[in-house]
Amino acid sequence: MTVTKSFTVVGAGIVGAAVARELASRFPDSTVTLLEKEAQVASHQSGHNSGVVHAGLYYQPGGLKAQLCRRGAQLLEDYCLARELPYEQCGKLVVALDEAEARHLGEMFERAKKNGVPGVRMVDGAGIREIEPNAIGISALHSPTTAIVDYAAVTRSLTNDLVELGGRVELNCEVYDIAPSNSGVILQTSQGDRETDFVIVCAGLQSDRIARLAGGARNPSIIPFFGQYFRLDEKHKDILNGLVYPVPDPKFPFLGVHLTKRVDGEMLVGPNAFLSPSREVYRGLGLNLRDLAETLMDRGFLNFARNNLPSAVREGRTVLSKTFFLREAQKYVPSLEGANVTRLTRGIRAQAMDADGSLVDDFRIDYEARVTHVRNAPSPGATSSMAIAEFIVAGMVEKHEALQV
């Protein structure tokens, strides 16, 4: 028995591309179409990030992030090596500067071991200098298998695979509405209406809006946070062998200013994390009045803002002052003093938030009739993308007898 159905995936970021490829591979006699509203794939989060392949240090054991990050990291490594895509296992240090951070680091170490992160270990100040001679701290967690890639290149490769498997990629095709039909789902798009058997929405920064179009719950809503990156000058770009991160604030979901090596040999400082006045404007003021108004009227965001004012003040300083931004990085690498940096295009993270102001920490995937929604897939979403694709397709098969071979 073969499955001959039609599948439409909305959103050609790395998760959407991986899902479409998985469907085309799993159901070779079916029709798979990947829709993207922009003129190219990986136009948003997948093309505006630091390129880190996470090893699984941060995530609650047993959760989807922990499970899919480990599986996804291995799939991604194998894929990049098979396709001869850039992949460098440069390693990462998460550095504690004081005893309070060292205690949090110890808790992270225990999580990492439970998650099966290979080679992870604790080092003291001398151990830090052995790995990164220009870094300082009282202790650090060393993850030797943390790597870097070019996620936009991976996304393009996944879409090429889809086409080779007989699928289609349709660019400049925006979805305006999703509604059930007698035999499937009707999508109203900028290129006309189309009917399909199953829809999988991987729309990132627009995921909550498209979920509502399809009759899904209002929450979680997407609150956009931007992260500013700077590129270090030629003199300082080889200052580290790999990545140096701060110990994350357990009260705040973002990792703080860190130093990230890139596969093209450049060294980045950043990102900070601050409320974005738009979901998809990456330059200048980055303002979209509709996006900003929607955020400021969101009950969940108002609750979140009240509970995170100190962190917002700290992050706001890095937005307003390049000097303060670099000073944060110099806490870990003092020889950055006097470095020149070039401001790069910012990234914007889609953070799902519940009505009470709590951040949706884990991946959230909702199966509603014939429409599947990826409601939350922040970091390590790119690392986990191929494992998320496996998980989604397996879930669809479990829920729909018509997909069971």
Write the CATH number for 335.
Answer: 3.30.9.10
Give the residue from 353, 373, 393 where a domain finishes.
353
Regarding whether 159 and 30 lie in a shared domain, the answer is yes
Instruction: Say how far residue 294 (Cα) sits from the centre of its chain.
Output: 22
Regarding whether 254 and 106 lie in a shared domain, the answer is yes
Regarding whether 313 and 291 lie in a shared domain, the answer is yes
Amino acid 309: pLDDT: 61
pTM equals 0.95
Q: Is residue 81 part of a domain?
A: no
* Residues composing the chain: 405
Give the residue from 311, 329, 353 where a domain finishes.
353
Note whether 347 and 13 are within 8 A (CB).
no
Q: Is residue 62 part of a domain?
A: no
Q: Is residue 65 part of a domain?
A: no
Regarding whether 301 and 243 lie in a shared domain, the answer is yes
Amino acid 256: pLDDT: 73
Regarding whether 258 and 198 lie in a shared domain, the answer is no
Q: Is residue 52 part of a domain?
A: no
Amino acid 318: pLDDT: 57
Q: Is residue 115 part of a domain?
A: yes
Q: What is the pLDDT along the chain (405 residues), one digit of tens a residue?
A: 577 899 999 999 999 999 999 999 999 999 999 999 999 999 999 999 989 999 999 999 999 999 999 999 999 999 999 999 999 999 999 999 999 999 999 999 999 999 999 999 999 999 999 999 999 999 999 999 999 999 999 999 999 999 999 999 999 999 999 999 988 999 999 999 999 999 999 999 999 999 999 998 989 999 999 888 889 999 999 999 999 999 987 666 566 788 999 999 999 998 877 889 999 999 888 899 999 999 999 999 988 888 766 565 555 555 556 777 888 899 999 999 889 988 888 899 999 999 999 989 899 999 989 999 999 999 999 999 999 999 999 999 999 988 887
Q: How many domains does the chain have?
A: 2
Give the residue from 313, 336, 353 where a domain finishes.
353
Regarding whether 386 and 341 lie in a shared domain, the answer is no
Amino acid 311: pLDDT: 61
CA distances (Å), origin 351, targets 62, 150, 206: 21, 22, 11
Q: How far apart are the C-alpha atoms of 151 and 380, rounded to whole Å?
A: 12
Amino acid 173: pLDDT: 98
Regarding whether 271 and 127 lie in a shared domain, the answer is yes
Regarding whether 245 and 197 lie in a shared domain, the answer is no
Amino acid 315: pLDDT: 55
Element (H, E) at 81: helix 64-83
Note whether 28 and 165 are within 8 A (CB).
yes
The token pair at 151 is: 């996620």
Q: Which domain range does residue 288 map to?
A: 89-145+222-353
Regarding whether 209 and 179 lie in a shared domain, the answer is yes
Regarding whether 367 and 345 lie in a shared domain, the answer is no
Residue 352 contacts by C-beta under 8 Å, 6 or more apart in sequence? 207, 208, 220, 221, 222, 223, 359, 360, 364, 375, 376, 378
CB atoms within 10 A of CB 368: 15
Note whether 158 and 14 are within 8 A (CB).
yes
What CATH number is given to the structural domain containing 39?
3.50.50.60
Q: Is residue 323 part of a domain?
A: yes
Q: Is residue 245 part of a domain?
A: yes
Amino acid 272: pLDDT: 75
The token pair at 69 is: 């990050």
Q: How far apart are the C-alpha atoms of 217 and 204, rounded to whole Å?
A: 16
Q: Is residue 165 part of a domain?
A: yes
Regarding whether 292 and 231 lie in a shared domain, the answer is yes
The token pair at 166 is: 């007989």
Regarding whether 306 and 248 lie in a shared domain, the answer is yes
Asked whether the bond before 224 is cis by omega within 30 degrees of 0, the reply is: no
